[in-house]
């Protein structure tokens, strides 16, 4: 168990955040993190959503807290439950969550909607391949919210775009399967999603 997740086991604030979402959206990213960290979460129907644009996922919490965008929700939950007390500690995780939403999303979904860039030559994926060749997980070699964000986006690719020959990216391929093999991943995204990742990532 990672240090980040260990810090929140058994933590109770006496309240339960409410997530408006559905399986067909990015809500499972939030569910995955909450399952991994035992964060209490109440699911709500996607509509009507308090999201200012009527979208999901959207998180409502006590004290009038209203958050939209999956990355922002992950960072809020990390701040609330993660047990990190300094900006320096939080920065190690924040940069990866923002990277997933700002940069990796374009690599996964912005290339003619084919997902091909995760398996093709490119600076971003080359660097990620190098990083994952030195560490099983992104921060301190332990599973964390950083892996929830990055692993989720990577593992959407074989679902939306089919089998991916990852012979150029053996470390990324192993990482994708490592994330998909976690019980909380299957619980959040569904057994079928997890099995598809395991079978469609080749090379």
Contact criterion met (CB below 8 Å) for 9 and 38: yes
Percent helix, strand, coil in the chain, to 5, is 55, 10, 35
* pTM, 2 dp: 0.87
What is the DSSP code string of 49-69?
Answer: --STTS-S-EEEEGGGEEEES
* Residues 76/65, Cβ–Cβ less than 8 Å: yes
- pLDDT number for residue 4: 43
Residue 44, classified by CB atoms within 10 Å of its CB into exposed (0-12), middle (13-18) or buried (19+), is middle
End-to-end CA distance of the chain: 29
Query: b/e per residue, 151-184, with b = 16+ CB within 10 A?
Result: bbbbbbbbeebeebebebbebbbebbbbbbebeb
Which pLDDT score, from 0 to 100, does residue 49 have? 65
Helix (H, G, I), strand (E, B) or coil at 150: helix
Helix or strand or coil: residue 161? helix
Per-run averaged pLDDT (10 residues), the chain, 203 residues: 39 70 86 95 76 76 90 95 88 97 86 62 89 97 97 91 88 97 97 93 80
The CA distance from 8 to 35, in Å, is: 11
Domains and CATH numbers, the chain: 3-81 (3.40.30.10), 87-202 (1.20.1050.10)
Q: Identify the pLDDT of residue 202.
A: 81
What pLDDT, on the 0 to 100 scale, is given for residue 115? 54
């Amino acid at each position: 168990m990672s240090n980040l997740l260990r810090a929140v086991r058994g933590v109770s604030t006496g309240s339960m955040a409410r997530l408006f979402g559905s399986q067909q959206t990015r809500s499972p990213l939030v569910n995955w993190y909450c399952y991994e960290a035992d964060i209490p979460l109440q699911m709500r129907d996607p509509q009507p959503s308090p999201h200012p644009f009527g979208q999901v996922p959207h998180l409502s919490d006590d004290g009038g807290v209203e958050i939209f965008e999956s990355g922002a929700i992950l960072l809020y939950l990390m701040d609330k439950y993660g047990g990190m007390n300094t900006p320096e500690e939080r920065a190690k995780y924040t940069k990866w969550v923002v990277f997933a939403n700002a940069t990796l999303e374009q690599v996964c979904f912005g290339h003619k909607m084919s997902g091909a860039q995760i398996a093709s030559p490119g600076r971003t994926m080359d660097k990620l391949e190098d990083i994952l060749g030195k560490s099983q997980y992104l921060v301190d070699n332990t599973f964390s919210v950083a892996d929830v964000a990055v692993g989720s986006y990577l593992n959407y690719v074989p679902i939306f775009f089919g089998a991916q020959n990852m012979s150029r990216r053996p470390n990324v391929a192993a990482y994708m399967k490592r994330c998909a093999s976690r019980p909380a991943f299957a619980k959040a995204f569904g057994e079928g999603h997890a099995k598809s990742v395991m079978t469609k990532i080749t090379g």
